[in-house]
Amino acid sequence: MLSNIGNSLLFLNIFFGFLIIHYSINFLKNSNTTIPKKIYHLSLLQSTSILICFCTLVAAFLVSDFSLITVYQNSHTLKPIFYKISGTWGNHEGSLLLWAIILTIFSFLFLIFNKNHPKNFRLHTLIIQNLLILGFLFFILFNSNPFSVINPIPKEGLGLNPILQDPALAIHPPLLYVGFVGSSIYFSAAMASMITNYSDSLFAKSIKSWVVISWTFQTLGILVGSIWAYYELGWGGFWFWDPVENASLLPWFAMTALLHSLIVLEKRNILYFWTIILCLLTFILSVTGTFLVRSGILNSVHTFANDPSRGIYILIFLSLMIIASIYFLFSRYKPTNNYLNSNSKETFVLINNWFMMFYLITVLLGTLYPIFTDALFNSKISVGPPFYNSVIIPVVTVFLILMAVGPQVKWIKNKFTNIKSYLLIILAALLINFLIFYFFKSYSITSNLIIISSLFLIISSIKDIFKKTNHFPRVISHLSFGFLIFFIGLNHNFSIEKDFNLKLGEKKQIDNFQFFLQDLELTKYPNYQAVKGKIKISNLITSEERTLKPEIRIYDNPQTLTYEASIRTNFLKDYYLTMSNIDRSEYYNIKFQEKPLMIWIWISVISLSLGGFLSLFRYAKYN
């Protein structure tokens, strides 16, 4: 039954999509400058029906309707309700439905929130966005239908992969999707802008808040993914340069560049085509990322069941998007004489964009290179953290300094009058850096440079807060980014890792730590059993004591063994401990890590995205 409702709603959505395109095209030639109510209503209906369609799927998961293949493959009656719901988007088909929802809702919101922009620009945006929606709906309906039925109906489902049964992972996809699927709306708007020649600073205004929204959510989505990796994957890292992580980072770079170039377009009415390229690129990269992940041509921690026919479909979709983008870009491109004074805010923003492009190209190359060598030379290679770290980290140093200086620079023509204050800031940064390695421990030259430059950015931004600037959101974001790099730098240099075996009742002393495996306890939960260890860690120098309780979980559906790290967080450091059983031995393998300032890394990213939210509020207030 639910399957029929879902399928009908999908068809209904396709019908609405065609209808909106039809009416919009008809209305383009009309001299009336307002968009008729009919289109608004259709768009609202479209959003509502796709939401109901999604709720139908959620309902199927809730009542464990195993007649649906998707539910059968990804759910189980014993699963907690929360994970039944999050299971809806924890799989390929359901997550595509989430794609369609975001495409549709953004389409509707863009329509109602941009009433003061030209009618034809808005209609064209609506048409292009609906073409994207239709593309995805056809994909869902004919290739990845979440409402496909299975006969005979299985009695029990296969269950959701236990490592996905996690609150962070439940909200990770929706956040990330608002980010990179949200970028579709400025893809559409950029196309519409080229078609209708709506190319001045007003265009920048029309998409600004959408860019900020998608950037903010993308940032949060990446953060939640990192947090999940940190406490679920069990080795204490939070960023792996895994191809799928990279796929989410690529659009982020493009968005960040766009966010900055938009300011120039809005204020100075230059860099129009560059901004357009970034708009197109962001969504193209998002779809490319989706292609790479879903087609299965990349291997990573994100395992979606592979199916080449999906890949073909997304690839065709991607190719059409690229062809259309290139066609319009080349046919509408007019060389403009963008004279830029080399010492002006415009130039600094452009430099920011170059940096972003540099990061983007580095990460893109690293991600695609293994695919290329495999296809061309049949050789399997993998590009790992050493590549990214050695290419990106030194460049970040310069980037941070420019990030501190850039915002102070004036539009059009600037004069550096505050060299003295910069020198003072550098001195302060050097001094703090010196104190850190004097009191704690020394680190490499690169780390020194990273710490100094991040301190430079932090101090400059703090100074800005007191300047009563009206760029408060920007200051917050820049400051947070400085802190983020600063904390990552310290965390990287001051982390301690110990690896040893321990049996029940045994005490072991390593350096200044003493470990004591006090107790082992078997607990039964509805969908798994857990062996909980109780390990007391005493720091012999500070005589600080903490008890950590790592778990070995045995899940029933599907049968899997997972190791749950036990993490004790405080404001200074995290204790991170995993325990794994050793077969036919009473010993347990213990991996212990002391990771300083972990929580501050998360807080920095939250506050980075807070800058985005603040700027949205401000934007809403002034418009």
Partner 1 sequence: MQNIIKIITVFVFIFILGIFYVSLNRSSNYDTETLVGNKLGEIKLKSFYKDKFYVNEDFENNKYTLINFWASWCAPCRIEHQYLMELSNQKNIKILGVNFKDKKTNALKFLKDLGNPYDYLAKDTQGKQSVSFGIYGIPESILIDNKLIILKKVIGPLNSQDLEEINKIIKNL
Figure out which of the listed residues 361, 427, 582, 606 binds partner 1, where binding follows CB under 8 A: 582
The reply on whether position 545 binds partner 1 by CB under 8 A is no
Tokens of 596: 């300083």
Least distance in angstroms from the C-beta of 91 to partner 1: 20
Q: Residue 374 or 511: which CB sits closer to partner 1?
A: 374
Find the binding residues for partner 1 in span 99-138 (CB under 8 A): none
The reply on whether position 560 binds partner 1 by CB under 8 A is no
Q: Residue 316 or 620: which CB sits closer to partner 1?
A: 316
563, containing H or E segment:
strand 560-564
Find the binding residues for partner 1 in span 493-532 (CB under 8 A): 499
Tokens of 55: 């709720």
Tokens of 382: 């993998």
Least distance in angstroms from the C-beta of 577 to partner 1: 15
Least distance in angstroms from the C-beta of 347 to partner 1: 22
The reply on whether position 326 binds partner 1 by CB under 8 A is yes
The reply on whether position 299 binds partner 1 by CB under 8 A is yes
Q: Residue 297 or 603: which CB sits closer to partner 1?
A: 297
> What is the total count of residues that contact partner 1 (CB under 8 A)?
33
Q: Within the chain, what is the greatest distance between any pair of CA atoms?
A: 85
Contact 60, 68 (CB under 8 A): yes
234, containing H or E segment:
none
Q: State the Cα–Cα distance between residues 53 and 49, nearest whole angstrom.
A: 6
The reply on whether position 334 binds partner 1 by CB under 8 A is no
Q: Residue 45 or 322: which CB sits closer to partner 1?
A: 322
Read out DSSP for 424-440?
A: HHHHHHHHHHHHHHHHT
Neighbours of 3 (CB within 10 A): 21
Please state the separation of Cα 309 from the chain's center in Å.
26
Q: Residue 299 or 569: which CB sits closer to partner 1?
A: 299
The reply on whether position 139 binds partner 1 by CB under 8 A is no
Q: Residue 138 or 587: which CB sits closer to partner 1?
A: 587
Least distance in angstroms from the C-beta of 286 to partner 1: 15
The reply on whether position 237 binds partner 1 by CB under 8 A is no
Candidate ranges 10-18, 50-58, 314-322, 527-535; the one touching partner 1 (CB under 8 A): 314-322
Alpha-carbon dihedral sign for residues 194, 195, 199, 202: negative
Q: State the Cα–Cα distance between residues 126 and 113, nearest whole angstrom.
A: 13
Q: State the Cα–Cα distance between residues 239 and 491, nearest whole angstrom.
A: 13
Figure out which of the listed residues 147, 187, 253, 291 binds partner 1, where binding follows CB under 8 A: 291
Nearest 5 degrees, angle CA 150-CA 155-CA 159?
Answer: 85
Q: What is the 3-state secondary structure (H, E, C) of 259-312?
A: HHHHHHHHHHCCCHHHHHHHHHHHHHHHHHHHHHHHHCCCCCCCCCCCCHHHHH
* 418 residue type, one letter: N
Window 357-396: contact mask with partner 1 (x via CB under 8 A): -----------x--xx-xxx---x----------------
Q: Residue 498 or 536: which CB sits closer to partner 1?
A: 498
Least distance in angstroms from the C-beta of 583 to partner 1: 4
Read out DSSP for 52-68?
A: HHHHHHHHHHHTT-TTB
Which residues make Cβ contacts (< 8 Å) with residue 398, sequence separation at least 6?
A: 355, 453
Figure out which of the listed residues 29, 583, 621, 622 binds partner 1, where binding follows CB under 8 A: 583
Candidate ranges 82-90, 178-186, 325-333, 564-572; the one touching partner 1 (CB under 8 A): 325-333
Figure out which of the listed residues 30, 116, 303, 306 binds partner 1, where binding follows CB under 8 A: 306
Alpha-carbon dihedral sign for residues 236, 241, 244, 246: positive
Q: Residue 324 or 599: which CB sits closer to partner 1?
A: 324
Side-chain-side CA neighbours of residue 224 (13 Å): 20
The beta-carbon contacts of 418-421 under 8 Å, at least 24 apart in sequence, are 421/463
Candidate ranges 311-319, 437-445, 463-471, 539-547; the one touching partner 1 (CB under 8 A): 311-319
Least distance in angstroms from the C-beta of 381 to partner 1: 9
Least distance in angstroms from the C-beta of 612 to partner 1: 30
Give the CA distances from residue 110 to residues 107, 115, 117, 203, in Å, rounded to whole numbers and listed in that order. 5, 9, 11, 13
* 388 residue type, one letter: Y
Figure out which of the listed residues 202, 322, 393, 520 binds partner 1, where binding follows CB under 8 A: 322
Q: Residue 446 or 589: which CB sits closer to partner 1?
A: 589
- CA-based nearest residue to 506, from 454, 579, 613: 579
The reply on whether position 589 binds partner 1 by CB under 8 A is yes
Tokens of 131: 């073409």
* Exposure b/e, 377-399, CB count within 10 A at least 16 = b: eeeeeebeeebbeebbbeebbeb
Least distance in angstroms from the C-beta of 264 to partner 1: 22
Figure out which of the listed residues 308, 384, 385, 558 binds partner 1, where binding follows CB under 8 A: 308
Find the binding residues for partner 1 in span 144-203 (CB under 8 A): none
User: Please, where are the H alpha helices in 63-166?
Assistant: 69-74, 81-86, 92-113, 119-142
The reply on whether position 584 binds partner 1 by CB under 8 A is yes
The reply on whether position 586 binds partner 1 by CB under 8 A is no
Interface residues with partner 1 (CB under 8 A) are 291, 295-299, 306, 308, 311-312, 315, 318-319, 322, 326, 330, 333, 335, 368, 371-372, 374-376, 380, 499, 580-585, 589
